[in-house]
């Protein structure tokens, strides 16, 4: 039986001898590589934290102590050590384990986390809660109390929320350990002055020698430990041995490191000392992203979260040095199409600029950043800063495009309100991974962007259904200077069926008919579908399946703000029911905007039916499976059409049933 198969909980791990931990690490890496190669997922981040995660569970008892992840995509080794190895087979599906921490899976996962920067703040909250409940660890007064550890990495330390957390953590008067996993990478190469500081720190031979000398000195101190006794006995002189002018010291955090995050003796030694330290501390750990798989080490950005891939091995069956892979592809993605279109815009218009927040590969801007380094920027995991920077560029007369995952737009909504919309500035948002995102699950669904942005006066909201419409939307936005604009598109492959059909330009607030049947047809359609975004393709399939029984007009709505009020009026006044379809929350989305438009025009909205993401969390699985669950696949759309058409319109109530005014009340006008 393998070592991993013997571990049903961290208690089993702690029964292993230290000499076995290296073999266990190799088993965990092998299992993760095999699973991700089959179904895709976060590979390089997890390979880099195997030894660190084993050491944390070996030293601490997180059945009692608290471990909070900041970057949730580094949790696979943690899950394998906490009784979930049997779920790895179904990684990123409902039948297996989520790709991010999930409290519904295990009590060892304290928060479902998918957005970086939050771990220090939530850990500080739990630290304060335990202190208030008299459950907090103290080496003398409460040795059986709970310890707090938060693991932060992939350059999320530069996130604004992380900075706020650090500022508060320094005021804690108790044990509080921040483990900084410094792999020299974010999702891609980290950006900014702080990243450069860590680069200098890692490369400083003087610093490395200083740290080794500090350890030797501290070991010789009479009366005990490497950290605890030295800190209390020698005060400021001893603090200087922990870190050489550490950046974290300015937050009031004792800092140790960097240490080798793949060296079990060093990890265990320092974690054991840190475990009983009664002050907030940062343990700076240097790791290699993609450790143990040559191709992932050399190209950690590409293998941050790859699709399924085939790994070519040496004759002995082991991944070889210089091994190669073939990553599965299923067609041209919206992300690739956006990257190409954005590159063309940059070439065409010298006043066009672009920005991403740590996602150049994920948003398709890698080539733009390489070819236009003076007009395109990766600001790191700093969405709020990115939005404000784009506002500044707009104020100086440039045409800024901010490419961001739809789920991360939420982090910059305040800036979209204050610095963009309120100022009337034409910042252009390109919302990748809108709607249901598949294996990343609920933490990454882009389901509320329309509802949020619709509240902003002057905002203009678009959606793309295919590559040609995406290009047309971006061109519309390039020349639209009246305020904030945003286009949404999914994490999906592009349906090419209309690739040879001319795509008309976007005209503000106007929909595009996709079928021969339309509101203008001499013979009125039985029903009209207004589809916002890529689900227009499923709507075409649904309409085709009902062709023998019903005349169905399908529209690419194009705009959620402003909606096509004229089309809505024409359909409803002709008695044509409307089905709205969107890959967005049913609450506050495009369908809600259509109903509001009907109400504003004093039209009967009783024959408007909405389909969208239901008011419930939809967890990890394939995007197609999630669309079925949400009732947004072609078959469900067809069923909704039949139900709408088979339901007779409601008759207005007879006059006699109307409520009589109360005596003395004013008569209605």
Share of the chain above pLDDT 90, in %: 73
Distance separating alpha carbons of residues 86 and 20, to the nearest angstrom: 21
Cis amide prior to 208 (ω within 30 degrees): no
Look at residue 116 and tell me whether its pLDDT is greater than 60: yes
- What band does 196 get if pLDDT is binned at 50, 70 and 90? low
pLDDT of residue 574: 95
CB 563 within 8 A of CB 594: yes
Comparing CA positions, the residue from 416, 439, 404, 450 lying closest to residue 583 is 450
CA distance 52 to 63: 18
Instruction: State which H helix or E strand residue 590 sits in.
Output: helix 590-600
Top pLDDT among 379 and 330 is at 379
> Quick check: 50 pLDDT over 80?
yes
Three-state SS at 377? strand
Residue 250 has a pLDDT of 78
**pLDDT in the model for residue 634:** 97
Instruction: Pick from 97-111, 186-200, 296-310, 642-656 the range whose average pLDDT is largest.
Output: 97-111
Predicted confidence (pLDDT) per residue in 326-358, tens digit: 666 678 999 999 999 999 999 999 999 999 998
Confidence class of residue 550 from pLDDT cuts 50, 70 and 90?
A: very high
pLDDT band at 324 (very low <50, low <70, confident <90, very high): low
CA distance 449 to 196: 33
Instruction: Evaluate if residue 521 carries a pLDDT over 90.
Output: no
Give the C-alpha separation, 631 to 140, whole Å.
58
Looking at the predicted structure, is the pLDDT value of residue 316 above 70?
no
Nearest-angstrom CA–CA distance, 119 and 382: 15
Reported as a single tens digit per residue, the pLDDT across 584-619 is 999 999 999 999 999 999 999 999 999 999 999 999
Mean pLDDT of 409-415: 95
For the record, the structure tokens of 423 come out as 């100022």
Q: Are 197 and 231 in contact (CB under 8 A)?
A: no
Which residue in 29, 92, 146, 289 is the catalytic one? Answer: 289
Q: Which residues pair with residue 608 across a beta bridge?
A: 578
Query: If you compute the radius of gyration of the chain from its CA atoms, what whole number of angstroms results?
Result: 28
| Sequence-ordered list of residues with C-beta below 8 angstroms from that of 165, at least 6 positions apart, any chain | 117, 118, 119, 120, 121, 123, 124
Decide: helix, strand or coil at residue 124. Answer: helix
Q: Give the per-residue pLDDT at 546.
A: 96
**569 classed as catalytic:** no
Cis peptide before 498 (omega within 30 of 0): no
pLDDT higher than 60, residue 660 = no
Segment 227-270, tens digit of pLDDT: 544 444 434 333 433 444 567 777 888 888 889 999 999 999 99
Q: Report the 10 Å Cβ neighbour count for 193.
A: 7
| For the chain, percent of residues with pLDDT exceeding 70 | 85
Statement: residue 372 has pLDDT above 90: yes
Total Cβ atoms within 10 A of residue 366: 20
The pLDDT score that the predictor gives to residue 297 is 86
pLDDT tens across 200-222, in order? 444 343 334 434 444 443 444 33
pLDDT confidence bin for 323, thresholds 50/70/90:
low
* Exposure on the CB side of residue 236, measured as CA atoms within 13 A: 1
Q: Identify the pLDDT of residue 490.
A: 97
Domains, the chain, in order of start with CATH, read: 4-286 (3.40.50.970), 334-488 (3.40.50.970), 512-646 (3.40.50.920)
Confidence of residue 223 (pLDDT cuts 50, 70, 90): very low
Average pLDDT, the chain: 87
- Residue 596 designated active-site: no
Cβ pair 415, 387 in contact under 8 A: yes
- 3-state secondary structure labels for all residues of 198-248: HHHHHHCHHHHHHHHHHHHHHHCCCCCCCCHHHHHHHHHHHHHHHCCCCHH
The pLDDT value given to residue 192: 52
Q: Based on the number of CB atoms within 10 Å of its own CB, is 643 exposed (0-12), middle (13-18) or buried (19 or more)? A: exposed
Q: Report the b/e string of 274-283 with b at 16+ CB within 10 A.
A: bbebbbbbbb
CA dihedral 365→367→372→375, nearest 10 degrees, is 0
pLDDT above 80: residue 152? yes
Facing residues of 611 across strands?
Answer: 581
Per-residue pLDDT averaged across 292-315, rounded? 81
Task: Please report the pLDDT score of residue 318 as a whole number.
Answer: 55
Whole-number Å distance between alpha carbons of 78 and 98: 12
Catalytic pick among 273, 383, 467, 629: 383
Using one digit for the tens of pLDDT, what is the confidence trace for 165-191? 999 999 999 999 999 998 875 454 555
Provide the token pair at 503. 């795509």
- 215 CB-near residues (< 8 Å, 6+ apart): 226
Given the residues 92, 174, 399, 411, the one annotated as active site? 411
Residue length of the chain: 669
pLDDT at 654: 56
Q: Residue 213 phi/psi, 5° resolution?
A: -65, -40
Residue with the bigger pLDDT between 316 and 64: it is 64
Residue 383 designated active-site = yes
Predicted pLDDT of residue 126:
96
Three-class DSSP category at 35: helix
């Amino acid at each position: 039986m393998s070592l991993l198969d013997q571990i049903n909980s961290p208690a089993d791990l702690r029964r292993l001898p230290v000499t076995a931990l290296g073999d266990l690490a190799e088993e965990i890496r092998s299992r993760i590589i095999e699973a991700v190669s089959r179904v895709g997922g976060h590979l390089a981040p997890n390979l880099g934290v195997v030894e660190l995660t084993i050491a944390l569970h070996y030293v601490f008892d997180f059945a009692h102590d608290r471990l909070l992840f900041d970057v949730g995509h580094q949790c696979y080794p943690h899950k394998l050590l906490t009784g979930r190895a049997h779920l790895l087979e179904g990684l990123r599906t409902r039948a297996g384990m989520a790709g991010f921490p999930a409290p519904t899976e295990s009590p060892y996962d304290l928060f479902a986390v998918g957005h970086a920067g939050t771990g220090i703040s939530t850990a500080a909250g739990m630290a304060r809660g335990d202190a208030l409940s008299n459950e907090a660890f103290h080496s003398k007064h409460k040795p059986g109390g709970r310890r707090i550890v938060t693991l932060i990495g992939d350059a999320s330390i530069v996130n604004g929320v992380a900075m706020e957390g650090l500022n508060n953590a320094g005021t804690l008067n108790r044990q509080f350990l921040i483990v900084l996993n410094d792999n020299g990478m974010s999702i891609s190469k980290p950006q900014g002055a702080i990243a450069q500081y860590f680069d200098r720190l890692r490369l400083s031979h003087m610093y490395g020698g200083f740290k080794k000398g500090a350890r030797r000195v501290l070991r010789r101190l009479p009366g005990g430990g490497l950290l605890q006794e030295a800190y209390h006995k020698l005060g400021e002189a001893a603090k200087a041995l922990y870190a050489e002018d550490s950046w974290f010291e300015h937050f009031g955090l004792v800092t140790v490191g960097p240490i080798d995050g793949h060296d079990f003796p060093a990890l265990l030694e320092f974690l054991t000392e840190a475990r009983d330290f009664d002050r907030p501390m940062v343990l700076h750990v240097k790791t290699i992203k993609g450790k143990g798989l040559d191709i992932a080490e050399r190209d950690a950005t590409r293998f941050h979260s790859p699709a399924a891939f085939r790994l070519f091995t040496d004759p002995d069956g082991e991944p070889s040095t210089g091994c190669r892979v073939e990553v599965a592809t299923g067609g041209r993605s919206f992300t690739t199409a956006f990257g190409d279109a954005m590159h063309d815009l940059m070439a065409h218009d010298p006043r066009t600029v672009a920005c991403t927040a740590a996602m150049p590969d994920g948003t398709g801007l890698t080539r733009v950043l390489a070819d236009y380094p003076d007009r395109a920027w990766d600001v790191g995991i700093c969405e709020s800063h990115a939005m404000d920077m784009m506002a500044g560029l707009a104020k100086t007369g440039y045409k800024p495009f901010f490419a961001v995952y739809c789920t991360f737009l939420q982090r910059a909504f305040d800036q979209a309100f204050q610095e963009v919309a309120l100022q009337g500035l034409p910042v252009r948002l390109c919302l990748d991974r809108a709607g249901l995102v598949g294996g990343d699950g609920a933490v990454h669904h882009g389901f509320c962007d329309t509802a949020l942005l619709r509240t902003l006066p002057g905002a203009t909201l678009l959606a793309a259904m295919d590559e040609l419409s995406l290009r047309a939307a971006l061109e519309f936005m390039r020349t639209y200077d009246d305020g904030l604009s945003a286009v949404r598109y999914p994490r999906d492959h592009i349906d090419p069926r209309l690739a040879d059909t001319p795509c008309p330009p976007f005209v503000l607030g106007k929909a595009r008919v996709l079928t021969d049947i339309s509101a203008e047809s001499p013979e009125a359609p039985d029903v009209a579908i207004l589809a916002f975004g890529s689900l227009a393709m499923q709507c075409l399939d649904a309409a085709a399946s009902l062709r023998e029984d019903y005349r169905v007009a399908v529209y690419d709505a194009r705009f959620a703000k402003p909606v096509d009020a004229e089309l809505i009026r024409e359909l409803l006044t002709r008695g044509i029911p409307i089905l709205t379809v969107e890959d967005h929350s049913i609450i506050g989305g495009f369908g809600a905007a259509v109903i509001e438009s009907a109400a504003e025009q004093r039209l009967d909205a009783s024959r408007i039916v909405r389909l969208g993401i239901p008011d419930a969390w939809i967890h990890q699985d394939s995007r197609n499976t999630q669309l079925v669950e949400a009732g947004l696949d072609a078959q469900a759309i067809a069923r909704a059409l039949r139900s709408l058409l088979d339901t007779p319109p409601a008759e207005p109530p007879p006059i006699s049933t109307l409520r009589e005014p109360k005596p003395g009340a004013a008569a209605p006008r």
